[in-house]
Structure 1
Amino acid sequence: MARGTLRGQSERFPSSPKRASRAKGRPVAASDSRSSSPGGLGKLLDARRVLLVVGCGGVGKTTTTAALGLAAARRGKRVLCLTIDPARRLSQSLGIEEMKTEAQTIDPALFAQAGVTITGSMTVMMLDTKSTFDSLVTQLAPSVEQRDRILNNVLYKYISTSLAGTQEYMAMEKLYATKSDPSYDLILLDTPPTPNALDFLDAPERLVGAIDSAATRWLVQAVQSSGKFSLNVLAKGAAAIVRGIGKVSGSGFLEQMAAFIAEINSVFGGWKKRADAVSTALRGPDVAYVLVTTPDPLAVREVMFFADRLREQDMRRDAFVVNRVHPTYGRVPDVAEVEAALSQSAIPLGPDAPARLRRAAEDESRMGKLDALHLVGLEAALEDEASGGSLLAHVPAFPYDIHDLERLSRIAEVLAP
């Protein structure tokens, strides 16, 4: 579905007060019965092997991943959380100084100190794109010598860290590699922070396509059996194109590129097979997708666009998590009532405090009503899309930052009571 269609659908979201009140409260399914998700997202944690957490930047995706991991650990699961670019706050909330590229199991004593009871375990790891790429080359290279030539190639060092699509593909590769690790019952991936949150879906195909393009095949042909680089072995048209590239980049660059492509070509068959396996694994029955958003209309439209992309790729939309949902109030107290409450509490806030507090309550209630309308729209869109009972969980807008295990556990309780 085109983005314009989705935008139009978002603008037609209904605003029935009855539907709005029904949308509040515990996480609900996108079906009329609302009875299929009494445990929130708990059934996904229990039934699936892998959860991919998807969303655009700034919607709380990384925190949601950690909270889901904690919820699973509370249910007795041995959990591994993989993340690309963790916020400093997340490390603090997990009780560790910093995320590392090797697996770190959170000390059970930290959970006990925070008053959080877990019967499983929680391990976290920051993904290292280059080390994952290096490991893949090591697996696929036909000889130690060829492996070393690839790993030490200047262009490989660039491609393995900076080429567009590499980070997304290596995240999927790491997920695929750890999926069969018997040390874990559940693996959660905080998908890479990219302008398009679903770049990882076709990253394997894009990276294989870059290596298997016509230009790279010409460069391989230009490396003669003697190992020397020559354009004379190419057809006239191909040679002209490659010469044009050489005028811009320099012949030295072409020689380095040709040497690299010739080396990487030896592992290409295994690489393509691996990429196909990764792509297939993303569509497996033991994989679930959790889409994260906020009540902001733009974020809602984006998440519906992501949902449509998943459907086009034959992938399920298992759950939607809406973060930072403001509460709604039946009636905002008047100034006299606020004054009476402050007087009983003996809170000295100054003569204008009652009026300011009332305005704050009005603002909060107004935001809650707007959030409710946007959430009703999301729920209606899910029904219109025939999502097959996708779960919809609402996480409240807490009046504090999530920077410790105790507060993270409160989100976990909302997601999987």
Structure 2
Amino acid sequence: MFFSRYLKMALILGLLSAIGPFAIDMYLPALPAIGRSLGAEVGAVQFSLTAFFLSLGVGQLLYGPVSDMVGRKPPLYFGLGLFTLASIGCALATDIQTLVALRFLQGLGAAAGMAIPRAVVRDLHTGAEAARLMSLLMLVFSVSPILAPLAGSGVIALTGWRGVFWAVALASVAGLLLVYSALQETRSEAERVESSLGSALRAYGVLLRDWHYLGLVGIGATAMAGFFVYLAGSPFVLINHYGLSPTQYSLAFSFNAVAFIGASQFTGLLGRRFGLVRLVKAAATASGTTMALLLAYYLLGGDQLWVLITLYFVASAFMGLVIPTASVLALEKHGAIAGTASALLGTLQMLGGAAAMGIVSLFATGKPLPMVVGMATGALIGVALTWITLSGDARRHLAAEAHG
């Protein structure tokens, strides 16, 4: 009975979390077609992706404290509603400027589904149990990079790129029905009493002075930044440079997602066996080493697609261990302000990813090297942050795990 409830909660939270990323991953195979349809350059089309990530990050700063004040469900209703309306607008856009603006609004709506599910996990569990639920949530969440590009390719083939936005609008409506019918409120009335705008600002002050929290957020942020660079660059590199069709691109993209999903399911088991801190250290280091090898290959003149896919598959597997585990550790000591802590975590990670995409897009040529440089830089900065944040007295960092 416990496991069935556990799995049900992971399924609900994972689906809510996946609605925003679904709007990214279904959209990726359409990027070259959108550029042709709207007469836009590569950089302008990529900025429609960057705008989504910017608002996806900033929006979480609002939803987190509000969910602490009024409960988890009302902000979900608002966010999913905004996402639905913006998605319809994107489907009707006739120029790249309008599409970018509506993608920004779409990201603001999707931010609710990113910040609040992590807070619900912290409402319910801590320690290894939280890592287990977070990994199950990531399993559902990570199905998006597998299914969404394939679904997007099918939708694009049948209806053109605009059909992608009609499809995600329907997914958002389904999310609204799921919140209404299946999600229980996890923030009690008593817990909301002390939450206010003033307390939210104080909570952000506490978090921004907590260097251990910020370090853990940074570890996840740098891992995700490299992934976001791949998100923005891979359609042009794999389709235009390597000559893959949109469907072949979707399969190649899905291959990396399988690695992330598969590895993330071992976070609970490995966390109990070795400790969450040791797990993050080992996985971040392995991911950084793999990306350094990939960078060296391209710097030395290599240009084989199978090398890119294979090494990034390995790096993605290690990232599947780093991202959910670092998130659990970051929220561990902040249960009383879990919504706010989750929001700041999500914001910093999304803004880091958007910044990385924006910087790399300035150097984008449609060839692999600029993309690989951005991916490897994120991974190597993550290694440095990991050892800085989690070095020193191990008992100090592992204390929060003792009751998990």
Q: TM-score range by the shorter chain?
A: under 0.3
More strand by share: 1
**Structure with higher helix content:** 2
So what's the TM-score if we normalise by structure 2? 0.24
Q: Larger C-alpha radius of gyration, 1 or 2?
A: 1
Normalized against structure 1, the TM-score is what?
0.23
